[in-house]
Chain A
Amino acid sequence: MVKKEYILSIFTEDHIGILNQITIILTRRQINIESITASESAVKGVQLITLVVKTSDDMIRKVARQIEKIIDVIKVFVHTSDEIVYQELALFKLSTKSLLSGNTIDHLVRSHNVRFLEITPEYIVIEKTGHKSEIIRLLNELEPLGILQYVRSGRVAVTRQVKEFHEYLKELNEASREEEKEEFEIFNRLKE
């Protein structure tokens, strides 16, 4: 079984407990979550949960269908890394003394394109945005200097697909209005 990295973009209603329902499915299938982010999507009231998991092609299809089966999940998209534009963000805290030696700062800015968020006599906080591999490369370089704290965010991603989620949602809502209209007509007929 060849394991690959997949990104699940899960659009859900904004209800309590959905993340729990999703993780139950992944746990039963023994799939570890590599990273996770949740935020409101471009559509008001719709949450977007982005999960990165490593599993097989066959398994990701099964799991995606099982997740989409959850009542409050609106739509699940499965992507491989080449189908999305994505970023991760990392923060590093180092002692100021360790950074001041040599041309470390110059190197950080020029070849890693980092941002300095806070500088005090005691410590410096650096922000790095990029793909995981870029962040790991920076981590490896900083490690000998002695990292005080390091944290990396979950992946955020937008897709390259043409049909956007809100178009899909519009179709759903139109179907709902059709239902209501029909009901309205039946009621009117009954009243006559």
Chain B
Amino acid sequence: MFDYNKTESMTERDFYEEKITEEITGGEALLRCLIEEGVDTIFGYPGGAIMPVYDKLLDYKEKIRHILTRHEQGAAHAAQAYAMVTGKPGVAFATSGPGATNLITGIANAYLDSVPVIFITAQVVSSLIGTDAFQETDIIGISMPVTKWNCQIKRPEDIPEMVAKAFYIATTGRPGPVLIDITKDAQTGKLPFKYKKCKFIRSYNPYKPLRKKEIESAAILINHAEKPLILAGHGVLISKAENELREFAEKTGIPVAVTLLGMSCFPTNHRLYAGMLGMHGNLAPNKLTNEADVIIAIGMRFDDRVTGNLKKYAPEARIIHIEIDEAEINKNVNVDIEINNDAREVLKYLIPLVNPNSHERWIREFRINDKIEYETVIRPEIKPEKGPIKMGEVVNVVSELTDGNAIVVTDVGQNQMSAARYYKFRIPNSFVTSGGMGTMGFGLPASVGAKVGKPNSQVIAFIGDGGFQMTIQELGTILHYNIPVKLIILNNFFLGMVRQWQDMFFHKRYASTELVNPDFITIASAYNIPGEKITEREQLAEAVKRMLNSEGPYLLEIHVEKEGTVLPMVEPGASVSEIKISK
């Protein structure tokens, strides 16, 4: 038998490990581990099984701030938003049973959008596991398909190693959520505490050697391309490759289209910015995807909302896919050159290999399409002269008054698409949205997490009247901690995006999409959140200014066009080149 598990002698390890032999409880050890990993903020909700950890939180309140959300789902979304704006992993606590299951939507959301969040759930006493004890649930089994990794800890002495492993896994490679389930007896039991950060797991190697040959062939392809197009995704932001992307694009003169989650990785006012891809993206990048001869996809995964009909996707193009997650390569779209590595490392090696170019004729095609889109879709949406207020118009006013410098949080649906389309992003990581999962109710708790993470940035949330009511209880968190977020409800008294589909594909049969809404301003005032409701175009700019100038949290409810339609649209089953600019 070959035994490669043997590690070097313990003495060598101990040599550079601080020797701490004091015995502390598992609950305290967990907090000390989090502090070692640089955690200073936790979102969570207590309950029976996690009480030993919460008790110790009181002793560490100088070092760790705990934000009590009003529902565990809120804690999960807030922790994710915190991670997205700070670049640090988010942390969320929940108790066993319903506390843990309430996290699931948030965990799945973080998983699909590759955001590092450490979820800590409590579990009943280990002797009761498997007996259907009070508030016992198999959270390991339930969370398995939506976490990058999970584990259950039944002995206090396992806590440091498992937490270290969790942070390493969550933050390296393609990031993602991890879940640690700790039994109550492991929280109360004692251990001699020492902590060592995890640097290596033999079955998981996120750092791959650069395969230069593939990058060199990619460079040849790029240098001979006549109609090249860059598709930039969330991976650019995750690997902090914004500057490299810009340098690469500027040197080669290749236009840059972004995915929804790639938004803000490339300045929207840049001459090479080609717009957003996908179902409600811009006309030019969608249409011209099918004319491109070389596509350079960076840190994106060819989601079906981006590609439309796969059979008719990019027929002319040779595809270069730069992607850290090997399982994403050749998953949806078969590519010609696969570069399975970190976007930043690859771009750094690629830039010197590509020739300067300008592609003037090709870029002119984008501008022609941009002009068509502006005249038929954008101008009527952001600068309408009569009729009710439009969503795009609101986003445009906010964009102009904040000069594109705010952190924009959205819910899901028309409000989200309008924000993505019409806010002029200039700063990386300034767009917080639920992409892969499309979780309604994400916006309000995410705005809390974003503001806690970036207290000096203006955080503005665009939320629909439907999504707002899905997690409306988080107004309590805003009240409790006086979190100065600016909330904009784009109220059309409809579940707007579903209504749009009913309009277009279900013969206008509006099944369960019309809403009877409460008075949001009255609700906000009960939470001591000042606000204003506007219904007329003339009030819009001034109301937004009042909101931006207010000190604390603020709610601006805007009655928008009831039956507005987000356009352009790549209809389901259609090719990206068949994108429609009118209904």
Contact = CB atoms under 8 A, between A and B. Distances in A.
B203 A24 contact: no
A71 B2 contact: no
Contacts of A158: none
A67 to B, nearest CB: 9
Contact of A184 (B16, B204, B325): B16
A172 B205 contact: yes
A65 B327 contact: yes
Contacts, number: 75
Contacts of A72: 149, 203-204
Given A21-B144, A69-B326, A176-B200, A43 B205 contact: no
B202 A169 contact: yes
B361 interface: no
A20 to B, nearest CB: 6
Given A20-B141, A74-B203, A176-B202, A69 B2 contact: no
A172 B203 CA distance: 8
Contacts of B327: 62, 65-66, 68-69
Given A65-B326, A187-B16, A71 B203 contact: yes
B397 interface: no
A43 B1 contact: yes
A62 B331 CA distance: 6
Interface string A40-73: 0011110000000000000001100110110111
B326 A68 contact: yes
B199 A183 contact: yes
Interface residues of B, number: 29
A17 interface: yes
A74 B202 CA distance: 7
Interface residues of A, number: 34
A143 interface: no
Contacts of A73: 203
Contacts of B202: 74, 169, 172-173, 176
A43 B200 contact: no
A73 B145 CA distance: 15
Interface in A141-192: 166, 169-170, 172-173, 175-177, 179-180, 183-184, 187
Max chain B C-beta neighbours (<10 A), residue from A12, A42, A71, A169:
A71
Contact of B330 (A43, A44, A61, A172): A61
Contact of B144 (A13, A24, A173): A24
Nearest to B326: A65
Given A42-B1, A62-B330, A71 B169 contact: yes
Contacts of A68: 326-327
Nearest to B149: A71
Contact of A170 (B4, B145, B148, B200): B4
A166 B205 contact: no
Nearest to B4: A173
B329 to A, nearest CB: 8
Given A71-B204, A74-B203, A183-B199, A44 B3 contact: yes
B14 to A, nearest CB: 12
B367 to A, nearest CB: 38
B11 interface: no
Contacts of B145: 24, 28
A128 B287 CA distance: 62
A69 B16 CA distance: 32
Contacts of B516: none
Contacts of A173: 4, 202
A54 to B, nearest CB: 20
A188 to B, nearest CB: 8
Interface of A: 12-13, 17, 20-21, 24, 28, 42-45, 61-62, 65-66, 68-69, 71-74, 166, 169-170, 172-173, 175-177, 179-180, 183-184, 187
Given A24-B144, A169-B202, 17 more contacts: A17-B144, A24-B145, A28-B145, A42-B2, A43-B1, A45-B3, A62-B327, A62-B331, A65-B331, A71-B149, A71-B201, A72-B203, A74-B203, A169-B2, A172-B205, A179-B200, A180-B200
8 contacts: A21-B144, A45-B5, A65-B329, A68-B326, A71-B201, A169-B2, A169-B202, A173-B4
